Amino acid sequence: MYEGSISVIKIRNVLLVTVPPDPDDELINQLQERVLQILDQSKAKGVIMDISTVDILDSFFAHTLVETAKMIALMGGRTIISGMNPSVAVTATQLGLTFGDIDTELDVDSALDRMEASED
Amino acid sequence: MAFTPLEEGFEFVPIKTESDIVRSRKVIRTLASKMGFRLTDVTRIVTAASELARNIYKYADQGQMCYRELQINGKLWLELVFEDQGPGIEDVEMAMGEGYSSSGSLGLGLPGTKRLVDEMEIESEAGVGTRITLRKKV
């Protein structure tokens, strides 16, 4: 993975998406398209968006994440956001960003557990 | 009619393309870290810069972000000025109200940005443009 790339890998029945620390708008738009396309091809049950490496989450990025989660839901999948770092959480809250009803987890591990539990 | 010229000591980043938004974030992250802001404050300032740089790109097509360090009563401040010659904000008071967004994106913007810094001033006039000044103390 080179700097500035999105990675999407399939673990069990789930797609794990990781993004670079400071993605530009174009990359964020690509992320949406790629995730939906790979979800369709791979027949995964859900998507974990791991943002533990992200150190800036502005309204555009947040808006695209929420939108992507809605699209994933329309396709029949579920989305969990994992790993938001404390500074990003503080800033997002004060900025007034809303994440709808997307589930969140501390890290990828607990996100995978939650995905698995919801399959039973 | 134009805004009063900026004082001495500013450096600037032009905002013309989408990639200039990332560039302004990088410049401010480097400067704020160097000035000694703690991590959460760096994140706040960089996020505020990202919001205002994007507003310029989205509503005014182009403009610039000016920045400088300031000493006020022995305290170090970071001052950022976002300027454009765009259409201007029709009703600044309304734009500062919670839940207002002229693009209908997320219903936020200026009020949220204001919460991330210590001081924020807006000058805007139809036919002149918009100048938004942010200040944060280390």
DSSP label of A93: H
The per-residue pLDDT for range A65-83, each reduced to its tens digit, is: 999 999 999 999 999 999 9
Contact residues, chain B, for A87 at CB < 8 Å: 39-40, 42-44
CB contact under 8 A, B105 and A63: yes
Contact residues, chain B, for A58 at CB < 8 Å: 47, 50-51, 54
The CA-atom distances, in angstroms, between A112 and each of A16, A48, A52, A59 are: 9, 8, 15, 27
| pLDDT at residue B80 in the model | 98
The per-residue pLDDT for range A51-68, each reduced to its tens digit, is: 999 999 999 999 999 999
* pLDDT grade for A1, boundaries at 50, 70 and 90: very low
Contact residues, chain A, for B18 at CB < 8 Å: 24-26
The per-residue pLDDT for range B19-38, each reduced to its tens digit, is: 999 999 999 999 999 999 99
Summary mean pLDDT of chain A = 92
Contact residues, chain A, for B43 at CB < 8 Å: 55-56, 87-88, 90-91
* pLDDT grade for B106, boundaries at 50, 70 and 90: very low
Q: Higher model confidence: residue B61 or residue A87?
A: A87
Summary mean pLDDT of chain B = 89
| pLDDT at residue B1 in the model | 63
End-to-end CA, chain B = 35
As a whole number, mean pLDDT of residues B9-18 equals 95
ipTM value:
0.90
% of chain B residues with pLDDT over 70? 91
**Closest listed residue to residue B3, CA positions, set B136, B124, B134:** B124
The per-residue pLDDT for range A16-52, each reduced to its tens digit, is: 999 888 898 899 999 999 999 999 999 899 999 999 9
Residue of A nearest to B115 (CA): A94
The CA distance from B134 to B123, in Å, is 12
CB contact under 8 A, B116 and A96: no
Residue A24 has its nearest CB partner, among B22, B98, B108, at B22
Q: Which pairs with CB-CB distance under 8 Å and at least 24 residues apart come from B41-45?
A: B41/B136, B41/B138, B42/A87, B43/A55, B43/A56, B43/A87, B43/A88, B43/A90, B43/A91, B44/A87, B44/A90, B44/A91, B44/A94, B44/B116, B44/B117, B44/B136, B45/B78, B45/B80, B45/B116, B45/B117, B45/B134, B45/B136
CA atoms within 13 A on the CB side of B109: 25
The per-residue pLDDT for range B48-94, each reduced to its tens digit, is: 999 999 999 988 989 999 999 999 999 999 999 999 998 888 777 77
| pLDDT at residue B104 in the model | 44
Residue B116 has its nearest CB partner, among A25, A88, A91, at A91
As a whole number, mean pLDDT of residues A93-99 equals 91
